[in-house]
Amino acid sequence: MPEDPDRIVISDVSFSYDISEETSGKAPRRALDGISVTIEKGSYTAILGSNGSGKSTLAKIIDILEVPDEGRVVIFGKDASEDDLFWDIRSGCCCVFQNPDNQIVGTIVEEDVAFGPENLGIPNPELRERVDQALKDVGLYELRHRETTALSGGQKQKLAIAGALAMRPDILILDEATAMLDPSSRDDFLELVEKMRMEKGLTLITITHDMTEALRCDKLVIVNKGKVAMEGTPEEIFMSEDLWKYGLKRPVKFNFAFEIAKLTGNTLCEADLKSDETLINALIKMLQMPLTQVPSITWEEEKPKEEKEIIMSVKGLSYTYDGSDVKAINNINLDIRKGEVLGIVGESGCGKTTLISHMNAIFRPAEGDIIIHTKDGDLACSNKKDTMKIRQNVGLVFQYPEYQLFEETVYKDIGYGLKKMDIAKEDHDKLIRQAAEKVGLTDRELDASPFELSGGQKRRAAMAGVLVMNPGILVLDEPASGLDPRGRHEMFSIIKGLRDSGTTIILVSHNMDEAAVNCDRICIIDKGKIKAVGTPKELFLRKRSEELKIQRPRITRFSSALKTELKKYYPGIEFKRRYFDPAKEAAAIVDTVIKAGGADVQ
Amino acid sequence: MFSKISLGRYYPAHSFLHDTDPRVKTVLYAVYLIAIFMIKEPVAIGVLAGIILLQLIMGKITPSILWSTVKPIIPLALFVFVINVLTIRDGDVLFSWKIITVTSYGLARAAIMAVRLIFLIISTSILLTLTTTPLKMSDALEKLFAPLKIIKVPVHEMAMMMSIALRFIPTLATETDKIMKAQQSRGADYDTGSFINKVKGYITVLIPLFVSSFRRADELAVAMDARCYKGGEGRTKLNPLKMTVRDVLAGIMFTLLAALVVTIEFSLR
């Protein structure tokens, strides 16, 4: 077969990571198990799959960072098994990885960009030109003499792109490169990458958990257990009902559209998914057709919210880091009510983490105070004597808590805080098991070493280590970051369970979609100050969001586009109920349209 | 608190010393190291202080940057001072109470020791870390020790390891801070309790720190592989080291100044 110079061809590739002697009793689990993929030159492909499905390994095979045990890899007509082509192939393919800190080699921005081309042995006038060009392309030229550690997360990822561009590659692989970025830097980053793809004719391969990001691609490949489970255009893939099986789900707007189709007894076809316009047209048609059977929709009656007592009040809190002139947080006043889920939303660096670090006296208030109201009286974060009591009452789970596990077994790790907090020994066992149950860890997992667990399990174990103290208030910093859609769903089920059992929850997030669905109230922080506090419904009213200059959740943006169209057909129609859950929002719209006279009248 | 560690940090600026060839700075550093440990006479110390001040100006190092490098070493300097004061019993007794005896000679010696230590830190900072990026420093070491390659010493690899280690100091400092905060919020207390308990407390910080360092090392190795790193062979440099007349003159001038200090020292003994 003549080699195709315009394709990446992976055929029947199997690969397993070296497994140590102890566990080699059985054959090692294959990270890739006879996988075959073809990727066209110049295309934009997303590789999707659950955590541990083998998608990152596939990326490493394409960049020949790993050599397959079996099978063949041919990159643009070059066979990767030929030794003399090895560096040729690898230099034509660049990767940007998830963690910005772990891929920067240089201390100074331009030194880091030069690292790749220096390795290729590019001589000097050209080397300088490549570095400068790459820095200009990504917009970091002005910062070329900065220290790399002084850059923000988004800038670091752009630096990684510059480092890749300076090697003048044909292929660029993004391995969850946007996972640690906030939405605005994420959009910024993706726009940059797509622009570079157009300008330099790159073949772009992205590995992601973000389904909306996947929609931007020409082709999706779903990997499951080291094999390709599905491949096709985004429209083909998102028609499928099997996504959940692979730890994935449809983008929010599709979820919503499929829900409307189901309620009206219709089906969507691939062509409908092409664009927002086609999708809205299809939905309007559905809503206008006479309904064969009126869907039975039951509404949870919206109870007027009773004002629960205040459990924590933040009073005039300000904080300035040493050596900085800017206040990281500036005069924060916030009351948290018992049993609510309060979302704290804002871009990276807005002061969210500084604020929550005060909530259990990790940072002692320098200006202002936080008062925790408990049944045994009030506790003040500024009072050193209250510190231990506060830490029992307010549990704080930082971002990526799984990196902080240290004991021999999960059981011991969860129990760590109990020993520190002087809690009667005979209660320990009961408390540890209760905490494990809350996060869904089994006895077998309790006896395992924390380092044997999967990523999601580790995170839950770390959460249990905080829950073991039975805190009345739980503060969670980005609890779902880095998890696949199924993992995120599980995490939010756990949070919902905790809330139902009476825990007050403060949820830090930069994902508006999830905050809108899961929070009773949202507090938006911008540059250290509170910009607005309110229920999602108040904040995400079109007028209010425009005033505040915040982006509304994806579901709301799509649903209001649909509503605007519907108003043309049903003048005077009013949509009273609004939801952020796609299924409920779909039901509300169908219900309103039927009541407005719907198709039957027409 | 760890994220503010300034030891080993680079201070980005444009100055005479920043632009000086790192090989010259490395050699000068060795020269000044010897000078610092040879001097005892106050006049010589004064002259050396003057030279260091000149270097600070030539490196455009602000007093606040200087303070942040010296600050962490002050407890150690004080410790050295006190130990010396208490253990040296020669000379005129100034003060004596129970087992504590303070002598004039002891005070002088102790002061010299403390001053030397501080000079040492300042010299390391201005000649090396503050004005030289880790990559340049590793380039310099690689070049200076290149002859050792003949006897199969992996000079390039060692230099690369050093520069990566320096590059990761701030990252790991931030990580340590995060781990400590997470454990504090679970009730850990690093400040009170017996010495043994404190040490035990730090072990629980070190384990996750090690684990994460290994993970980072793994990821970094993959990232370096992906960027076609294959050792020193055939590598080019964005900013190749260039020895200019100016560098040579600066080297000679500062070497002569160090010689002057040593001469003063010996002529006064």
Whether B29 and B87 share a structural domain: yes
Q: Which amino acid is at A424?
A: A
Q: pLDDT tens for residues B22-40?
A: 999 999 999 999 999 888 8
pLDDT band at A464 (very low <50, low <70, confident <90, very high): very high
Q: Check: CB of residue A202 under 8 Å from CB of residue A234.
A: no
Q: Kindly state whether residue B94 falls inside one of the protein's structural domains.
A: yes
> Are both B254 and B121 inside the same structural domain?
yes
Residue B145 maps to a domain: no
For residue A32, which phi and psi values (nearest 5 degrees)? -125, 135
Q: How, if at all, do strands B93-97 and B100-103 pair?
A: antiparallel
Rounded to 5 degrees, φ, ψ at B66 are: -60, -45
Q: Is B117 in the same domain as B166?
A: no
Helix residue ranges, H only, chain B: 16-19, 22-38, 42-58, 63-70, 74-87, 104-123, 134-144, 155-184, 195-226, 245-268
Q: How confident is the model at residue A294 (pLDDT cuts 50, 70, 90)?
A: low
The pLDDT of residue A21: 46
Q: Report CB contact under 8 Å: A121, B236.
A: yes
Contact assessment for residue B113 and residue B80, using Cβ atoms and an 8 Å cutoff = yes
Q: Chain A residue closest to B13 (CA)?
A: A145
B198/chain A closest Cα distance in angstroms = 13
Domain-embedded: residue B6: yes
Interchain contact B165–A (C-beta under 8 A): no
Asked if residue B147 belongs to a domain, the reply is no
Do residue B238 and residue A118 have CB atoms under 8 angstroms apart?
A: yes
Residues 56-95 of B with CB under 8 A from A: none
In a domain, residue B258? The reply is yes
For chain A, give the mean pLDDT.
Answer: 88
Residue A574: its pLDDT value, please? 86
Could you tell me if B232 and B242 lie in one domain? no
Residue in chain A lying closest to B237 (CA):
A118
Q: How far apart are CA B46 and CA A286, in angstroms?
A: 90
Total domains present in chain B:
2
Mutation pick from A57, A61, A96, A119 vs chain B, by most beta carbons of B within 10 Å, is A119
Phi, psi of B139 (to 5 degrees): -60, -45
Query: Has residue A600 got a pLDDT over 80?
Result: no
> What's residue B241's pLDDT?
86
Count, residues in chain A = 602
Rounded distance between C-alpha atoms, residue A268 and residue B23, angstroms? 70
**Hunting for tokens 């009961």 — which residue is that?**
A430
Question: Do A224 and A49 meet the contact criterion of CB atoms below 8 Å apart?
Answer: yes
ipTM over 0.90: no
Q: How far is A65 from chain B (nearest CA, A)?
A: 7
Following DSSP, what letter does each residue of A72-89 receive, concatenated?
EEEETTEETT-GGGHHHH
B241 and B230 co-located in one domain: no
Q: Which range of residues forms the domain containing residue B159?
A: 152-236
> Residue B146 domain-assigned?
no
**Cβ neighbours of B208 in A, within 8 Å:** 403-406
Using DSSP, state whether A185 is helix, strand or coil: helix
B1 and B105 in a single domain? The answer is yes
Rg of chain A over Cα atoms, rounded to whole angstroms, equals 26
CA–CA distance, A539 with A302 (Å, rounded to integer): 18
First to last CA, chain B: 45
Of A555, A511, A409, residue with least CA distance to A187: A511
Which of chain A's residues have a Cβ under 8 Å away from the Cβ of B164?
105
Of all helices (H) and strands (E), which one includes residue A139?
none
pLDDT at A296: 66
| Residues in chain B within 8 Å Cβ distance of A90 | 226, 228
Amino acid making up residue A219: K
pLDDT at A221: 95
Look at A494 and B233; give whichever has higher pLDDT.
A494
For residue A45, the number of C-alpha atoms closer than 13 Å in the C-beta half-sphere is 25
Nearest to A163 among B171, B204, B227 (CB): B227
Distance CA A406, CA B186 (A): 13
Segment B29-56 shows an average pLDDT of 91
Question: Longest C-alpha distance within chain B, in Å?
Answer: 68
Q: Which of A263, A281, A367, A271 is closest to A317 using CA atoms?
A: A367
State the Cα–Cα distance between residues A96 and B211, nearest whole angstrom.
23
B85 shares its domain with B157: no
Residues of B in Cβ contact (< 8 Å) with A391: 184-187
Same domain, B35 and B76: yes
Residue B192 lies in a domain: yes
Do B83 and B159 belong to one domain?
A: no
Residues B113 and B61 in one domain: yes
Among B134, B166, B182, the residue with its CB nearest the CB of A404 is B182
Same domain assignment for residues B67 and B178 = no
Establish if B169 belongs to a structural domain: yes
Say if residue B46 is in the same domain as residue B116. yes
Global pTM?
0.84
B242 interfaces chain A, CB cutoff of 8 Å? no
Do B235 and A119 count as a contact with CB atoms less than 8 A apart? Answer: yes
The predicted-structure confidence for A296-307, as pLDDT tens digits, reads as follows: 666 666 666 667
A496-520 per-position pLDDT tens digit: 999 999 999 999 988 888 899 999 9
Whole-angstrom Cα distance, residue A141 to residue A148? Answer: 13
Asked if pLDDT for residue B166 goes beyond 90, the answer is no
Nearest Cα residue to A403 out of B181, B4, B188, B190: B181
